[in-house]
Structure 1
Amino acid sequence: MPDHPAHEPQEILAERLNTLLDVVEAESGQRYTFPDIKAAMEQRGVHISRQRWHYMRAGTGPMTTDFPLLEALGDFFGVPADFLTDADPEIPDRVAAQLELLRSLKEAEVKNFAARSLTSDLSPETLLAIRDIIDQTLEQQAGERG
């Protein structure tokens, strides 16, 4: 989840929806589009407009209190409906595992970028020092999160 916590209910919902979309993309390699969401909601007997989906994902506009819609979205993403709206929910194991994997991948991207960008002009000692700084910073951030 993001470093800065959402405070307003509609921001919490937006954060959770976007997190679930990221998790699904990490698991399957494909990102859901609005037509995918709309079709899944219609299969569950619930209507969602493109405008409402946009507001829900952006965290703008009034908070969606349509419980059948929230329940259908939770069912679709494989999480309890409460996960979408509770300020301090229990994170489902599947979501927590995927978020940790995404963090690890981002950390690896930072290391790879630094290695590609800096290797041509720096001594091996300097490169090792940079690697150590990156590792220490990432460990420190992990300690602050957990």
Structure 2
Amino acid sequence: MAAEGAAQRNLRNSQILARKIDLLLDVMVTAEGRPYEFQDIQTALFEKGVKLSRTRWHHIKAGDATVRQPPEVLIALAEFFQVNPDYLLNSDGAVPERIQHELELLAAMRRAKVKEFATRTLADVDNETLDAIAALLDDSKKY
């Protein structure tokens, strides 16, 4: 029973790590403004003396709990993405402030696109209804 609980925790932690890595990949971009690719990450880690194979990267991104991730790889990834290593090392690691701000900016941009679409699509709708829709979209940022 205890082994099953440990296995469940390990699976959960692996899935959390995978989501965190996906979040970093979604938010962080290269100096040229393009998303990071495996080769970018692998090269940067190699220059710091940390080997990251394509297989290990796949296991991390897939949330595979059968392969334990060495802390030095997670620390190197945290340094690469310029976040506190605790974020990747601990399942309850807080979302870095920089990432939180990027997420808020992305959410605001999405809401603005939805408002623009609603305004164009609902041209025949009265202003009061459009204001109500805009208020609902603004309230959605709380969630």
Q: Same fold (TM over 0.5)?
A: yes
Q: Is the 8 A contact 1:26 1:98 kept in 2?
A: no
How does 1:15-54 map onto structure 2 within 5 Å?
Answer: 15-25=19-29, 29-54=33-58
Q: Is the 8 A contact 1:38 1:48 kept in 2?
A: yes
1:90 alignment partner, SS class:
coil
| Aligned counterparts of 1:15 and 1:26: Cα–Cα separation in 2 | 20
Q: List runs of 5+ in structure 1 lacking aligned partners.
A: 1-6
Deviation of the 1:39 alpha carbon: 0.3
Of 21-30 and 96-105, the range deviating more from structure 2: 21-30
Note the alpha carbon deviations across 1:54-96, whole angstroms, 9 max, x for none.
2312323535421110010011111122201423222222112
Q: Is the 8 A contact 2:75 2:88 kept in 1?
A: no
Aligned to 2:110: 106
| Aligned counterparts of 1:77 and 1:10: Cα–Cα separation in 2 | 19
Aligned to 2:133: 133
- Point out the structure with max Rg over C-alpha: 2
Establish whether residue 84 from structure 1 lines up as the match of residue 88 from structure 2: yes
| Aligned counterparts of 2:45 and 2:118: Cα–Cα separation in 1 | 43
**1:113–1:43 CA distance, 2 compared to 1 (3 A):** same
1:108 alignment partner, SS class:
helix
Aligned to 1:57: 61
Question: Percentage identity across aligned positions?
Answer: 34
Aligned to 1:3: none
TM-align CA RMSD:
2.4
Aligned to 2:16: 12
Q: TM-score w.r.t. structure 2 length?
A: 0.78
Q: List runs of 5+ in structure 2 lacking aligned partners.
A: 1-10
2:108 alignment partner, SS class:
helix
| Aligned counterparts of 2:120 and 2:74: Cα–Cα separation in 1 | 44
